[in-house]
Each structure stands twice: as structure tokens, then as C-alpha cells.
Structure 1
Amino acid sequence: MNHNEYMMKKLYEEIIERVGVGIHAVNQEGKTIIYNKKMREMEAMDKEDVLHKDVRDVFRFQENQSSTLLKSLQNGEEIVNVKQTYFNNRGVEITTVNNTFPLTMDGEISAAVEIATDVTRMERLMRQNLRQTKTDFTFNHIIGKSSEIKEVIALAKRATRTNSNVLIIGETGTGKELFAQSIHAESDRSDSPFITQNCAALPDTLIEGILFGTTKGAFTGAIDSPGLFEQAQGGTILLDELNSLNISLQAKLLRVLQERKVRRIGGSKEIPIDVRVIATVNEDPIDAISNNRLRKDLYYRLAVVTLFIPPLRERYEDIPVLIKEFIQKYNELFKLNVKSVSNVVLQFFEAQSWPGNVRELEHVIEASMNLVNYEQVIEFDHLPYQYRKSEVKMAASSPEFTESMEETMGLTDQLALFEKQTIEHYLHKHHSHITNTAIALGISRQSLQYRMKRLDIRVQKI
């Protein structure tokens, strides 16, 4: 082999190794001779696992199915756009769309090559969404006695009487999906599918096909597949974190909502749909519109009914009932007999801002109950380390918490004193202006007033 031939060979090998599709070739005996990087990534295997080994010894195929590579090799036929599901040497399921063709030399088939596109993730998501046709929650599962949460529940219940689109606004962890499921469960669509899709969980290239469906041949590896709107026919589709969806896809979604028809990617047929759309956003929609994360026309189309789910820091009176609910839940799961949290823990919880909202509170209760042995009360020492650590930092940052005071005061009194001193400091700084003080503290006006009443803080007239 001269130098030019050697360089061309290395160039071909480099191209095969770097190309963005999987390439797998076998010789006349069915043993692998080419297995590029993309194919190794798709099948989660090393080159040594496959190269120079018989395909039948490495991979396992579903019942009544065989390797498209071997079929092409044995029958001498070209196989185009065929979906294949099989398992690697560790039993992990893989789904690809393959273009396979035989290679002939001197009139005889000497090898077969397969060019594969990975659709494993899309296949799993499709199955997951097809299975999720029933709701797990109703309004009875929404816990709270505060006027804020009761008002939202009442509005959501009224929304069950119609088929209007709903926009649910709330921070992460406030329970937006719980409200969406409850609306569906008590509507006349309850016997039809409820399908949910998180718009932030997938890249644009995947989510468009999942939402609207695909037509065979629309792009490399595309197959005939119904989208979520078709799967949700007669029911409800929840589009979670809609503000994470690409603006161009939001335009396509708007067209679907306006025309009540969907067109698969690569298709020409308009498919009528009867689907109620519930969407959620985790930020103020006005901010999302201003920052080009949400189309204004889509917002108005969706916000026929708008629910604002208050964050936990604006409904502190719900904390005790939520704690009781979560303790009961994890008592059953962990076979424990915890009755409550201590007063110290309750006051500590009421002093938190809870950026993760109800979900964060539940996680703290679950983590704490993992540290309980036979105790019936969750104490401060049972809390996760990061919460106990933050409390130490908070106490240390206050000049009032001297060593002598720590020796003479209980933790409950220390927490209350620090909270009271902090609020009084900010009230004085903002000339007793309640709203400005609340903003500076990062809590709501209602939360500040609740704390002032509990701690007997009086507004000083200036």
C-alpha cells in the first residue's frame, strides 16, 4: 500500500468514526468488522465487546425478530427505514431505525452494512405517555386550610364544568400538576386519556415529533407515529413548563389550538382533535412574554382560565397540616409510628422561605423520617444536615446569639428571638413600611403580617 492509499484509508476510517449516525458492518460470517463511535454510544458498549465477534453471540433480539444486518447479509436484500428493538450484552433495550444493505464483491455477498438512527429515548417516552391515561390525584389530595389555597381550589373546581383551556402559574414544587390532574379527574373527560409532557425535559428535535407525531420518511429515521395530541383524543393534555418550549414550536402549538387540527411532521393530512389543554408556567407570564420565553398570543389563547398557585411562604398556616399529611404517608411506607414534629422543628419550618415549596417540605419530612428509629417525634437532630447547618449559620450571624445566651436559652427561644430581631431591624430600616419590609426579607406581605402577629411585633410610628 503506497502512501496515498494509506492516507485515504485513514481518512475513510476517521470519517466513519466521527459521522453522526451509527455504522455497523459484518463480514460474510456475521462477525463485526466496523463498529463506529456513534454506534457504541447508542448501544452503550465498548469496541472490544463487539468487534470481530458474531452478532448473534453479542445481541439478543425480541421474539420472532432477527438482526436486520444478518437478514440483509443472508438474503442479499436492501432494508430501508425499519425500526428494530433489541438488547445489548447487559440486557439494556435499544431501539433504532435502520437502513441496511449488502455489499457484493465478484458477484458474491461479502459483507453487510447498517446505518442506524437511535430512537430509544423517543420510544420509551411514547410508551410512558401511552400508559399514562389515568390520573392519580383529585381535589381531595390538595392539602391546606389557608384562604389562599382554598380560593384556588374553588376556582379550579369551577373550571371542571367547561372544556376551556387552563393556564396554571406557580413556582416549582407548588403542586401545579396536582391541580391539573384534579381538574381532569372531575371533568366530563375523566374517562378519556390524561397525558402529560414536560416541555423542558427534551430537546426541540424530539419534542416536536412527540407532540405532533411523525410521518415515515419525513427525516432520517422518521416513522409513522401519532403525537401526544392524537393520543389524548377526547381527553386532556398537560404541557408542563410551557415557557421552556421553543418559540417556533409555540407558534405551531398556537395553530393547533386555533384550528383544533394537528399535522404530523412531514405529513400533509390535517387530523381533527378534541383535546383540552392545560399548561403550566413556573414564572410570571408577563416576565416570560417580556423575555421572549412565551408568545403573547399563545398566552391569551391558553389563559381562558388562569390559576395562580401561591408559594408555601405565602401560606404558612398550611405547614402544620402538610406536615401531618406527609408524616402519615411515610409512616405507612416506612412502617413507623411518628406522631408529629417538635415545637423547635415547627418553628424552624415556619422561619424558612421554602424555595422548593411543598415538594421541598415533603422531601425534608421524608429525609427526617429516614433518620428516626423508634421515636414518635421528629426532632431538630433528625433534619437533613444542610438544614441543620443553615440554622447554625443563621444563629452565628446574629450578634445577639452570644455563648452565654446559647447556654441559658433553648433552641426554640433562640429561633424566635432571632426571627423577631431580624423583622424589627428591617421594619426600622424601611420606616415601618410593611410592603417594602416584606420585599427586603423576600417574603410576602401576608407572611410578614402573620409572623409579626405570632411574635407580637408592633409597628412603630415614625
Structure 2
Amino acid sequence: MNQKILTKLYEEIIDRVSVGIHAVDEDGKTIIYNNKMCEMEAMEKEDVLYKDVREVFHFQENQSSTLLKSLENGEEIVNVKQTYFNNRGVEITTVNNTFPIELEGNIYGAVEIATDVTKMERLMRQKVRQTKTDFTFQQIIGQSHELEEVKSFAKRATRTNSNVLIIGETGTGKELFAQSIHAESDRATGPFITQNCAALPDSLIEGILFGTTKGSFTGAIDNPGLFELAQGGTLLLDELNSLNFALQAKLLRVLQERKVRRIGGSEEIPVDVRVIATVNEDPIDAVANNHLRKDLYYRLAVVSLLIPPLRERREDIPLLVDEFIKKYNDLFKLNVKGVSKEVLQFFVSHSWPGNVRELEHVIEASMNLINYEDRIEMHHLPYQYRRSESEEEVALHPFIESNKMSTNTNLTEQLALFEKQYIEQNLIKNGNHITNTAKSLGISRQSLQYRMKRLNIRL
């Protein structure tokens, strides 16, 4: 094999490996800088090659490049975490193995093999900072029977340290309830740490939850997990049903034994942490569809809270609208007094698949379009809502005609009448089959049974 082919082979290997490789000559100028290093440091090769490391990168006070340290001292540096900044001031954190290049007793350069831990470092800092809650039960807006009942159950859960499972669709306010439980419990002075289980790949979330031990995998360092960081407080695991079964099994073990073992470690670390988990689907369905381990479900569901979707507590919509208008009046320096009758009627009839979060976004978007008006009108709503107004009216038309809606009854009574009729119609359509009716209504079986009891619907 000639030298040209051999050189090409070396270049291909260096550029295709999954770790960063950075080499400097005896003057500290870069001579090798592979593709992975470009990706990790968000730079192009021409930004770095043949330039002095000290001119390209900036280091925190009292710190310097591990490459240059190895070059100057002639020593190997193993598994050292380093935080520095690229030529645009972007912070980067890596774990490095660095060693000098020696020949016949002389040092001709140094090579660094780096693993990127920037994302994990930022996430860990974020979780450590998040030790206070922003919400209490008083800030959960609504006076519907459904919401008041859930709040009552949640308040009782503040008296104990039992695990809690919060069930609800996206945007219903599950984290508000979790924060409120923590804030009014005897753990209020401890940390409140959250982790969305769907936001990260399994390979990353395992280390974040349980911690890592130096040398357990390439670039691993001694790092506490969220269970250790939440010691004495509360750990909220959001969208738990998206966590894979292997990690669910490990989580179950921690809950049972109240001890955590870091990845690659042998030491059992005692943890005093209350776990609150959320799922965005019916847990019975989640178990049946292999999204949630049955044994983990039973362990977590010591206290279960079912947060009703907005379409099931429509009488709360006017209160929420007023609250969001007040919030964005303060933020946008406006003086909006409310919404028009047409807008309120549309809000009450809309199905709100995104729940309270969707309603807030609509209010925010509408107030961005207001000039000098003091009320939100239909033409202020985002386009997709203005377009769907007529569809909502058509959907409600049979109910309006058959019930001869009157202004002599209040909104709560009219909504209860519509709800009862709509459920009865769906029961007939589904042959009085509870499960099939619940699916056609888009609610859980438990929610349907509760509503039938409240509305005195008999099969």
C-alpha cells in the first residue's frame, strides 16, 4: 500500500469515528481536527486548522486547554471535564483524554480525544437551579365541580409522602398540580426537580436520572443523578409512559428500595425523594399497549389524580380567559377588558384539543393583533380559529334547535343539558357499551362513568 492510499485511509478513519479528535504541534497549532470535533464545537475546519489554540478558544478564569497542559508538561490527562468557549462565545463542555506525542524523548505535539457532554451539563445545571415552585393551589383557575374535586384530592395528598400519579391530556395543567402538592407538603423547603421523559434519548436520560460513575462508558464522569439532586424534595417525571421498559424496571427498583445505583457503580445510595409522575393517556390503556409496566403503575398510583380536559369543564373558560387577559395586559402594557360575546360563545363551544395551554396561546396571539381596541373580537383570533367558527356553530345547531336554548338559564345549566344529551346519544349509538362510548367521546372510561352518575344517566 503506497503512502497516498495510507494517508487517505488515516483521514477517513479520523473523520468517521464518533469521538472528537484534536491534535496540535509543538507550537500549539492545530494539525488534526476531525468532523466530530467540528460538530461538537460548532466550527468549521478552516476556523481551527493551523491556528494557535489560544487564539481560537477561550477558557474560564484560572483554566487552560488540556491540550496545552499535556504539551507543556508531557503528561497524560485522563477523563477530565473541561468547559470552554468557541470563537463565537458558545459554551462547550467535553470530557477529554489527552496525551503528548513523544519520539526519542522529545515532545512533538499532543492529541486530545473528546466526548461531548454539553447537553447533559446544561440539563444538570437547569435541574439544580430548579429548586422552587411557581404555583400553588390558589393559582389553579376554575370553579367547576370536576376541577374542585381534583384539587380536593390533591390537597389531601400533601399530608403524606406517598407517590402520586397524575393523569391528563397535554395542556391540562398536570405540572401545576405537581408543583402545588410539593409547595404545600412538608417537603416544600426541599428541591422540586422535573424531567420530561420524552424529551431525551434513553442513552442520555438514564445517566441524568440515576447518575454516572467515572469510567463506566467513554467520557463518563462522577455525576449525581436527579434522584440524588432531589434529596429531601420532590422529583416530577413527566410523560413517564414514554420511558422504555428497561428504565421503568430500574425506576421501580429505586422506588421499592429507596436506593439508587449510578451507571457503572456498585454503591447503593439511599435517597429520600417523593416521586410524582404524569402520563398523558389512560394508564389502563398505557399498560395494555405496553407503554407502562403494570407493577410500576401500581407502585406509583398510590394517589391517582385525573385532571379533566378543558372541554369537560367549560364553565371555567370565562375565568381562564379573564386570567390570561390580565397576564398579557401586564406583559404587553395593554388595557384589554375582555372578549366580545361572539368570541366567548366560540370559546365555550370549541373542543380545545390543546386544553388550557391552547386557550392561553389563543389569548396571547389575539392580544398581539390588538391596536387600540379594548376587547378581543373574532377578527383578532388566529386564522385557523376564525375559519373553524362556522364549523363549531354547525356542530351545536341540532342541540340549540332541540333544546330551545333560553337566556333564562345560566351557562352551567345549558352546558350540563348539552352534556347529558350528547352522552345519551353516544350511548345509544354504541349500544350502551361503556368502553366504546368513552372512546367515541374522547374521554376515559372512568370519566364517562363519573359523568353518567353526576348527570343521572341510567342504562
Residue 433 (1) aligns with residue 425 (2): yes
* Corresponding position: 1:254 with 2:252: yes
Deviation, structure 1 residue 309: 0.2
For residues 261-280 of structure 1, the C-alpha deviation after alignment (integer angstroms, 9 at most, x for no partner) is 11111111111111111000
* Contact 2:71/2:100 (<8 A) preserved: yes
Tell me which residue corresponds to 1:208: 206
TM-score normalised by L of structure 1: 0.88
**Could you tell me which amino acid in structure 2 is paired with residue 421 of structure 1?**
P
Equivalences, count? 424
Structure 1: how far apart are the matches of 2:439 and 2:187?
45
State the AA in 1 paired with 2:273: V
Please state if 1:421 is matched with 2:398: yes
Contact 1:148 1:315 in 2 (8 A): yes
Deviation at 1:12, TM superposition (A): 1.0
Say whether 1:269 aligns with 2:270.
no
Query: Post-superposition shift, 1:6?
Result: 1.6
Against the structure 1 CA distance between its residues 307 and 43, is the aligned structure 2 distance closer, same or farther, given a 3 Å change threshold?
Answer: same
Which of 326, 336, 339 does residue 341 from structure 1 map onto? 339
Distance in 2 of aligned mates of 1:84 and 1:375: 54
The residue that corresponds to 2:410 in the other structure is none
User: In the TM superposition, what whole-angstrom CA distance separates every residue of 1:304-338 from its partner, at most 9, and x where no partner exists?
Assistant: 00000000111111111100110011111111111
What do residues 386-423 of structure 1 show as CA deviations (whole Å, max 9, x unaligned)? 2223336x3xxxxxxxxxxxxxxxxxxxx646521378
Counterpart CA distance in 2 for 1:374 and 1:267 is 63
Task: State the Cα distance separating 1:160 from its structure 2 match.
Answer: 0.4
1:436, CA displacement in angstroms?
A: 5.2
1:29 matched residue in structure 2? 27
Q: CA deviation at 1:208?
A: 0.8
Q: Is the 8 A contact 1:196 1:239 kept in 2?
A: yes
Match of 2:236 among 238, 242, 262: 238
Which sections of structure 1, spanning at least 5 residues, go unmatched?
395-414, 451-462
State the distance in 1 between where 2:131 and 2:83 align: 24
Checking the alignment, whether the CA contact within 8 Å between 1:313 and 1:443 is kept in structure 2 is no
Matching residue of 1:85:
83
Give me the whole-angstrom Cα distance separating, in 1, the residues matched to 2:242 and 2:394: 42
The more displaced of 227-236 and 174-183 is 227-236
CA contact (8 A) 1:313 1:444 kept: no
Amino acid at match of 1:435: L
Residue equivalent to 1:105: 103
Give me the whole-angstrom Cα distance separating, in 1, the residues matched to 2:291 and 2:426.
Answer: 33
The question of whether the paired residues in 2 share the 8 Å contact of 1:240 and 1:281 is answered with yes
**What one-letter code is carried by the residue in structure 2 that aligns with 1:253?**
L
Q: Scaled by the length of structure 2, what TM-score is found?
A: 0.88
Call closer, same or farther: CA 1:228–1:439 in 2, change over 3 Å: closer
Q: 1:441 and 1:325 mapped to 2: Cα distance?
A: 32
Q: Quick one: structure 1 residues 442 and 44, their matched pair in 2 at CA, closer, same or farther if it must change by over 3 Å?
A: same
> Could you give the per-residue CA deviations for residues 286-311 of structure 1, whole angstroms, max 9, x where no partner exists?
11111111100000000000000000
The question of whether the paired residues in 2 share the 8 Å contact of 1:104 and 1:111 is answered with yes
Gap change, CA 1:79 and 1:432, over 3 Å in 2? closer
CA-CA distance at 1:433 after TM superposition: 2.5
Maintained 8 Å contact 1:212/1:229: yes
CA RMSD of aligned residues (A): 2.3
CA contact (8 A) 2:426 2:441 kept: no
The 1:388–1:247 alpha-carbon spacing in structure 2 relative to 1, beyond 3 Å, is same
